Structure 1
Amino acid sequence: MTSRKTQAKRREFIKLTAAGTVGAAAIAACAPTAAPTAAPAKPAEAPKPTEAPKAAVPEPTKPAAAAPAPAPTAASAKPAATSAPAAAAAQPSGLKAIPRNRTLKVVHGGTESKHKDCDIWNPYVTGGTHQAQQGILFEPLAFYSVFIDKEILWLASGYEYSSDMKQLTIKTRPGITWTDGAPFSAEDVAYTLTTLKELGPKVKWGIDVQQVVESATATDANTVVVKFKTPNPRFFDLLTYKNDIGVYIVPKHVFSGQDWTSFKNYDPAKGWPVSTGPWKVAFSAPEQKIIDRKDSWWADKAGLAKLPRVERIINIPFVSDQPTAQALISNEVDFSYGLQPSTFPTIFAQNPKVITWTGQKPPYGNVDWWPISLWLNNTKAPFDDPEMRWAVSYYMDRQTLVEVGWAGASSISKFPFPTYPALNPYVESIKDLLQKYPTDLYDPKKGDEIMTKKGYKKDNAGMWVDSKGARIKVEVMGSGSSGTALGPVVGELLKRAGFDAAYSQPPDASTRFANGEYQAMISGHGGSIRDPYNTLRLYQSVSATVTGGLVNNAKFKNADYDKIVDEIAMTPMTDKAKLTELFRKAMEIWLPNLPDVQLTEFHHRIPMNTTYWKNWPTAENPYCVPASWLLTYAIWLWTIDPTQ
């Protein structure tokens, strides 16, 4: 629950904001949920184990009586709605009856309350994505679970690099078949990599493979030899499923001869899509996607994982917080897309069986790999000067950002890395540098000292002006939930510091950010999960090792930094001593330059209903991240157990 201290700080911040400049959006995003106006209703009772459901999707006009769920906050990126998460849809004809207590109902995905991608089951096609249930059909060579720092070999039984790191040999498991009975083999892996190399930027992961792979060859049914253009000790990591990263291995006998950019891979008459996993698409329409479990699975026979107890997944499109909360309260759904912090107290009050990663306590979710920062364009004055970027950092009251922007349900970010077990030792190794360069310090006096040193003075209105009397105008942009939650607060903090700042969310904000046509932008970023390289690479201006594909949104340039990161790229992930040494050298450059100002961590605030299912991933049982749209979704599908 939101603490009284946090509520008081939010009220005080808003009160002190001249003319309400934080705006209604931030106030709504931070406002505590109103207490229910009636006694909490008893959640709907679970049916008996032998009772088959009467409909594949619950009838939205007949929820259990309950006090109204909270209205969606302004921080939600979705439109408000008063309907249930999906329109009423009877079970399609021809499907076998599955009891409710063997059915997993998930609210996720959709555009304008519909699965407009319901005929797309190819993650490589234009408009395709693993986040739309496709990820569980294309099993990986390996998984990596971030919170337990564990690699789990899957379709691959092993792999080995040559001593010069220019060749990777992958062994695949024998005895695996696709849904249609065709054998899975090394040919599927070699075909996937070869086609990605040919297609390059036309498809996801194409350019990543094209840049480094010379050839990929199946030397026998269970051996793939990948040769690289230059040493590449990290390529198997690219092939490993974690968060949103991982190459999808496709069936050669289905994809060969198809145009990957247009082939949708959906033809029920042909049994498409095929899969090596325990799942098959039973029905797919704008109102719902239904995925049924197969009766057997190679991983169960091999002793790697048990056959999932979930026998049917029903994926209902997300509409907004309000109808989703109602469905959770009445036990109509088991799992949902992330909700806003202010939504959870009412859900917990009316259905105590709903939990999150952190139980029923803030931040109501797990740390994502998406730390949020205030990006300042390093090529545009005045923020082309590192000292000016530090001045902005000193003006950022990050605790206020947490308590006002995220209603207390977040945490401060000190580095551009998530606080994951594999990364924490690297961060610990430079604690002394953090003392010298305190990226989380709120100290307006230090900011003022820098501004004065740079020749700025304050006018009669308390705004910084240059020698010509011109104020420093700062256009702060943002997008999505992090922009809506933090943007107005960041804008107000900059105004209080003396900048002529304004926050907005223009429709082209993301495009302008990607093209470098911005001054200040609130955004998170992916990157490192297992070691520092993928995040450090985000700040490279050029690379002598990796051609193209660099995403340097800060437009930071430092030749020495570039060389160090290239050396990290050539260092095996297992050589932690050398990586730690190089990481320190890189951060000795990064910290004083401060390419972007660190703000808060980002959390996936996901509700999980224990009425029908237990053993969900949580902070106390962190076997994988809980997000169903990430590539480790399959792990918790085979791990959760029915409650009856």
Structure 2
Amino acid sequence: MRLRKFLITASAVAAVSAIALTGCSSDGSSKGGSAGGGSLTVAKPDGAAVLATQINNPFIGTGSGMSLGYDRMLYEPLAIVNPVGKNETTPWLASKVEWNSDYTQLTVTPRKGVKWNDGKPFTADDIVYTYNLIKTTPALDLGGLKLSDVKKDGDNVVLSFSESKFVKQGDVLQVPIVPEHQWKSISDPTKDPVKEAIGTGPYTIKTFSSQGVVLKSRSDYWGGAVPVAELKYLEYNDNTGLLRALQSGETDWAQIFITDYQKNYVDKDPKHNVFWGANVLSPDMIVVNTTKAPFNDVAFRKAVNMVVDRKAHAEKARSNAGPELTNVTGIPQPTGDQYIAPEYKDQTFTIDVDGAKKVLSDAGYTWKDGALIDPKGSPVSFTLQDPQGWNDYVTGIQLAATQIKSTLGADAKVATPDADTWLANMASGNFDAALHWTGSGSNPWHIYDDVMNSSYLDQATDGKVSDNFGRYSNPEATALLKEYAQASDDGARTAALNKLQKIFVEDVPAIAVGTHPQLAEYNTRKFTGWPSEKDQYATADPTQPSAVQVLMNLKPAGK
């Protein structure tokens, strides 16, 4: 939905959501409850190095807590924004959140009856402290919040921003709240590992070792009885090792790409094993370097866009983990149906080799012995690159290279550098083309911001950009992105988004090739209540802010 309601309360969400926190009284305070039983094992494929040092600081993204995802069970946000389903916002540590009309100010009502795991009460002061910490420490402003003021207003907290946060509501609301009584004595919150993790979440750390992390449930959690008594977090060296653990039942909950997931995971226990790719608003695109040949020519970009086989990409590169990307705007469906401009509602990608060749011929391209020759008389050649080991992405660029070479005659090569080199190449512009994801949110703004916002070029440091890696520069597109982000009504946002879609379709700043769902694997042998295609109250990725929401929705199997 387009988030027309600015006021979001816990009771309002309860009326429309499948989620209900047990044990909460009408004023939001906890009645407590007996803990559940059993355990779940959660795992990642990032290698043992993640467990070499215990780092529970939720602002250190590469630390053990955030990498494995167990920090999501220790620290909690004010609210959780659902990127799928109805895009609803579920108040969490807040009992109510209310935006003003232009989304430059947020009023938060703290939930009553919440305690930190050391027994001290959670208050509005903790919210003020956390957001002031972000305001005064730029390195912690990971979501680019640009806070201008943080203050208490009676029982509430008021957050003010220097620009509209309509497109970044999740970034604002899903900040992990930390306890002032502990963090005020931390000298450098950007580096401190915070080994004593004091949070409001349903778990505390029982053990940490190089073998894994074990969390134990709290008996005094504000949300009531915690359904799973113990969580175990493990690391495997790679996807292959983690897949074996999923197949054997050694691991219960994970987030990896699985080639032919039906055969290699689901069919191993079809009654219980579930693979779900939540179709968020985040397509994969061939990001092209628009500052140099051949992709500095819109005619060539259009031609490539006309010969890429999206169906083959969905089937062979993504193993049908998500639906085929069909709409010419690049907006995934059905999640994004409501945002597609009227003129493009029924316009779908089709392979049109003859049409692509005509576009090239009209622009002065020719062919010699089947090879494509540019208007200056040089053979057209370029390289697609993605990291070695990223099997779905490497397969994706191999498919694209073959399609472009066989249909257009361009010499499309493939390179697979290591991930660090690839990331550096993207930032510095040392590439021709690469398959890359786009940002996601509750609206398509992030899709176009990632590939059309020239503000990233203005903010480059030593020639390195943080986004818009293709270095596409279009003042109109940049202005429309700003207009959408700062608009105070749906009509203005819709008008700006429709114009952005037109630029994307006609100027092809990047080539949308496939959907990029948030993947997850879990089983229902011990617990049910997981999100799914039929019940999209959250994604099932155990590293996302909604992991705690998923956990609290579980129920013992058979009950």
Give the TM bin, normalised by the shorter chain: 0.7 to 0.9
Q: Distance in 2 between matches of 1:587 and 1:387?
A: 18
2:549: which partner in 1?
Answer: 635
Looking at structure 2, the residues matched to 512 and 419 of structure 1 have their Cα atoms a distance apart, in angstroms, of: 31
Q: Which amino acid aligns with 1:477?
A: Q
- 1:335 maps to what in 2? 253
Q: Indicate the residue corresponding to 1:603 in structure 2.
A: 517
AA aligned to 1:370 is S
The answer as to 2:464 corresponding to 1:552 is no
Corresponding residue to 1:424 among 337, 341, 346: 337
Correspondence for 1:11: none
Q: Secondary structure at the match of 2:397?
A: helix
Q: CA deviation digits over 1:275-310, x for unaligned, max 9?
A: 11111111111211101101121122xxxxxx2210
Say whether the 8 Å CA contact 2:115–2:221 is kept in structure 1.
no
573, 586, 591: which one aligns with 2:505:
591
Conservation of the 8 A alpha-carbon contact between 1:328 and 1:354: no
CA distance in 2, matches of 1:564, 1:467: 33
2-side partners of 1:448 and 1:387: how far apart?
Answer: 10
1:140 Cα deviation from its structure 2 partner:
0.6
- Asked if 1:620 corresponds to 2:534, the answer is yes
Structure 1 residues 634 and 345: CA distance shift in structure 2, 3 A: same
2:415 equivalent in structure 1 = 504
Given that residues 615 and 639 in structure 1 are in contact (C-alpha distance below 8 angstroms), is that contact kept between their aligned partners in structure 2? yes
- Unmatched segments (≥5 aa) in structure 1: 1-97, 241-245, 267-271, 301-306, 358-363
TM-score normalised to structure 2 length: 0.83
C-alpha separation in 2, matches of 1:114 and 1:546: 33
Which of 113, 119, 122 is equivalent to 1:184? 122
Identity %: 21
Give the distance between the partners of 2:98 and 2:386, measured in 1 at CA. 43
Displacement after TM superposition at 1:410 (Å): 4.0
Q: Within 5 A, what are the aligned runs for 1:294-305?
A: 294-300=218-224
Quick one: which of 199, 207, 226 aligns to 2:159?
226
- What is the SS of the residue equivalent to 1:365? strand
* Bigger share in strand: 2
Aligned to 2:13: none
* Preserved CA contact (<8 Å) 1:308 1:639: no
In the TM superposition, 1:47-446 aligns within 5 A as: 102-111=38-47, 113=48, 115-116=50-51, 118-125=53-60, 127-128=62-63, 130-132=66-68, 133-145=70-82, 146-162=84-100, 166-200=104-138, 202-205=139-142, 208-209=144-145, 212-220=146-154, 222-230=155-163, 232-233=165-166, 236-240=169-173, 246-258=174-186, 259-266=188-195, 272-300=196-224, 307-357=225-275, 365-413=277-325, 414=327, 415-419=329-333, 421=335, 423-427=336-340, 430-433=341-344, 438=348, 440-446=349-355
Q: CA deviation at 1:472?
A: 0.8
Q: Which runs of 4+ in 1 moved over 6 A?
A: 545-550
Distance 1:340 1:159, change over 3 A: closer
CA change 1:131–1:419 in 2 (3 A) is: farther
Q: Where does residue 446 of structure 2 map in the other structure? A: 534
Deviations 1:147-181 (A, max 9, x none): 23211111112233456755432221222221112
TM-score when normalising by structure 1: 0.73
* Residue identity opposite 1:630 in structure 2: Q
Provide closer, same or farther for how the CA distance between residues 396 and 339 of structure 1 changes in structure 2, counting only shifts above 3 A. closer
1:30-55 deviations in whole A, cap 9, x for unaligned? xxxxxxxxxxxxxxxxxxxxxxxxxx
Q: Distance in 2 between matches of 1:631 and 1:449?
A: 48
Q: Distance in 2 between matches of 1:165 and 1:325?
A: 43
Distance 1:406 1:531 in 2: 23
Distance in 1 between the 2:94 and 2:521 partners?
33
Deviation at 1:110, TM superposition (A): 3.6
CA distance, structure 2, for counterparts of residue 563 and residue 327 of structure 1? 49
Q: Which has the larger displacement, 609-618 or 317-326? A: 317-326
The one-letter code of the counterpart of 1:531 is N
Residue deviations 1:529-564 (CA, integer Å, cap 9, x gap):
212333333222139x99999722222222222222
CA contact (8 A) 1:115 1:287 kept: no
Alignment CA distance shift 1:613-1:186 (3 Å): same
The structure that has the greater radius of gyration is: 1
Alignment deviations for residues 2-51 of structure 1 (CA, whole Å, 9 cap, x no partner): xxxxxxxxxxxxxxxxxxxxxxxxxxxxxxxxxxxxxxxxxxxxxxxxxx
Stretches of structure 2 that go unaligned for 5 or more consecutive residues are 1-34
Structure 1 residue matching 2:214: 3-state secondary structure: strand
Q: What CA RMSD, in Å, does the superposition of the two structures yield over aligned residues?
A: 2.9
The aligned amino acid for 1:458 is: W
Give the letter aligned to residue 139 of structure 1: E
Contact conserved, 2:290 with 2:297, CA < 8 A, in 1? yes
Amino acid aligned to 2:444: P
